[in-house]
Amino acid sequence: MSAPILEVENLTKHFPLHGGLLQREVGRVHAVDGVSFTLARGETLGLVGESGCGKSTTGKAILKLTDPTSGTIRLKGVDITHLSRAQMFPHRRVMQVIFQDPYASLNQRMRVKDIVAEPLGNYEPDSSRAERLEKIAALFDRVGLRRDALNRFPHEFSGGQRQRLGIARALAVNPEVIIADEPVSALDVSVQAQVVNLMMDLQAEFELSYLFIAHDLAVVQHISHRIGVMYLGRLVELAPKRELFRNPQHPYTEALLDSVPVPDPRRRRKRAVLRGDVPSPINPPKGCHFNTRCPLAFDRCFHEAPPLREVAPGHMAACHLR
Amino acid sequence: MTHTPVERPQDPTLTARMSEAAAGAWDALRRNPTMLFGLSVLVVMAVLAFGAPLFGLPEPMRQNPINRLQDPSAAHWFGTDMYGRDLLSRVLHGGQISLVVGLSVAALATSLGLAIGLVAGFSRRVDAVVMRFMDALMSIPSILLAIALVSLWGSSVTNVIIALTIPEVPRVVRLVRSVVLMLRDQTFVQAAIACGTSTPRILVRHIMPNTFPPLIVQATYICAQAVIFEAYLSFVGAGTPPEIPSWGNIMAEGRMFFFQNFGIIMYPGIFLAITVFAINTFGDGLRDSLDPRMKRRF
Amino acid sequence: MTLSPPAVPDTDPVLQVDDLRTWFDTRDGVVKAVEGLSFDLRPGEILGVVGESGCGKSITSLSIMQLVPTPPGRYASGAIRFKGRDLLRLTPAEMRRIRGNEISMIFQDPMSSLNPVLTVGDQLTEAIVLHQGLDPRAATARAREMLDLVHIPEPERRLREYPHQLSGGMRQRVMIAMALSCNPQVLIADEPTTALDVTIQAQILGLMEEIREKLQTAIILITHDLGVVAEMADRVLVMYAGRKVEEADVVELFERPQHPYTRGLMRSVPRLGADGEGSATRLAEIPGIVPALTNLPAGCAFADRCAFVTDRCRAEYPPLVPRGPRHLAACWHSDTLPEWTA
For residue range A209-237, what is the model confidence (pLDDT) as tens digits?
Answer: 999 999 888 899 999 999 999 999 999 99
pLDDT for the residue numbered C7: 43
Confidence of residue B3 (pLDDT cuts 50, 70, 90): very low
Side-by-side strand order, sheet with C15-26: C29-41, C15-26, C73-82, C85-86
If one compares A11 and A263, the residue with the highest pLDDT of the two is A11
A169 touches chain B (CB under 8 A): yes
Q: What is the pLDDT of residues B263-298, one digit of tens each?
A: 888 888 999 999 999 999 988 888 877 765 544 433
Angle at A298 between CA A295 and CA A299, to 5 degrees: 150
Distance from CA of C294 to the nearest CA of B (A): 12
C31 neighbourhood in chain B, CB within 8 Å? 298
0.95 exceeded by the pTM?
A: no
Name residue B265's beta-bridge partners. Answer: none
Angle at B138 between CA B135 and CA B144, to 5 degrees: 150
pLDDT for the residue numbered C10: 64
- Reference C317, options C301, C328, C305, C333; nearest CA is C301
Would you say C208 and C219 are in contact if contact means Cβ atoms under 8 Å apart? yes
Neighbours of A184 (CB within 10 A): 26
Give the helix/strand (H/E) hosting B35: helix B33-51
Distance CA B271, CA B276 (A): 9
Q: What is the pLDDT of residues C292-332, one digit of tens each?
A: 888 888 899 999 899 899 999 999 999 999 988 889 999 99
Give the CA distances from residue B131 to residues A22, A269, B134, C305, in Å, rounded to whole numbers and listed in that order: 19, 60, 5, 56
C282 touches chain A (CB under 8 A): yes
Find all residues with CB under 8 Å of B68, minimum gap 6, and list them: B80, B81, B82, B83, B84
Distance CA C212, CA C118 (A): 29
A53-57, B198-202, B236-240: least confidently modelled range? B236-240
Distance from CA of A204 to the nearest CA of B (A): 13
For C26, the closest chain B residue by CA position comes to B298
Distance from CA of A80 to the nearest CA of B (A): 14
Neighbours of chain B (3+ CB pairs under 8 A): A, C
Give the helix/strand (H/E) hosting B143: helix B142-153
Q: Please indicate whether, in this complex, the C-beta atoms of B205 and A141 are within 8 angstroms of each other.
A: no
Q: What is the pLDDT of residues C156-210, one digit of tens each?
A: 888 888 888 888 788 888 888 888 888 889 999 998 888 778 888 888 888 888 8
Check pLDDT > 90 for residue C52.
Answer: no
Burial class (CB in 10 A: 0-12, 13-18, 19+), B3: exposed
- Delimit the domains of chain C by residue range: 259-269+284-342
Distance CA A183, CA A99 (A): 6
DSSP state at residue C69: -
Of A197, A262, A272, the CB nearest to C285: A197
B4 touches chain A (CB under 8 A): yes
Distance from CA of A82 to the nearest CA of C (A): 34
Give the helix/strand (H/E) hosting A229: strand A226-231
- Delimit the domains of chain A by residue range: 6-40+52-90+226-317
The ipTM assigned to this model is 0.85
Distance CA C143, CA C33 (A): 37
For B295, the closest chain C residue by CA position comes to C27
CATH 3.30.70.1880 fits A6-40+52-90+226-317, yes or no: no
Distance CA B111, CA B219 (A): 10
Q: What is the pLDDT of residues B68-97, one digit of tens each?
A: 777 788 777 877 777 778 888 888 888 888
C168 neighbourhood in chain A, CB within 8 Å? 51
Neighbours of chain A (3+ CB pairs under 8 A): B, C
pLDDT for the residue numbered B30: 77
Q: What is the pLDDT of residues B189-198, one digit of tens each?
A: 999 999 888 8
Check pLDDT > 80 for residue C281.
Answer: no
The percentage of residues in chain A with a pLDDT greater than 90, rounded to a whole number, is 55
pLDDT for the residue numbered C280: 53
Q: CATH number of B35-54+78-292: 1.10.10.10, 3.40.140.10, 3.40.190.10, 1.10.3720.10?
A: 1.10.3720.10
* Mean pLDDT computed over B219-223: 91
C226 neighbourhood in chain A, CB within 8 Å? 189, 263
Of A60, A109, A133, the CB nearest to B210: A109
A147 neighbourhood in chain B, CB within 8 Å? 6-7, 9
Would you say C284 and C268 are in contact if contact means Cβ atoms under 8 Å apart? yes
* Mean pLDDT computed over A305-319: 92
Distance CA B287, CA B291 (A): 6
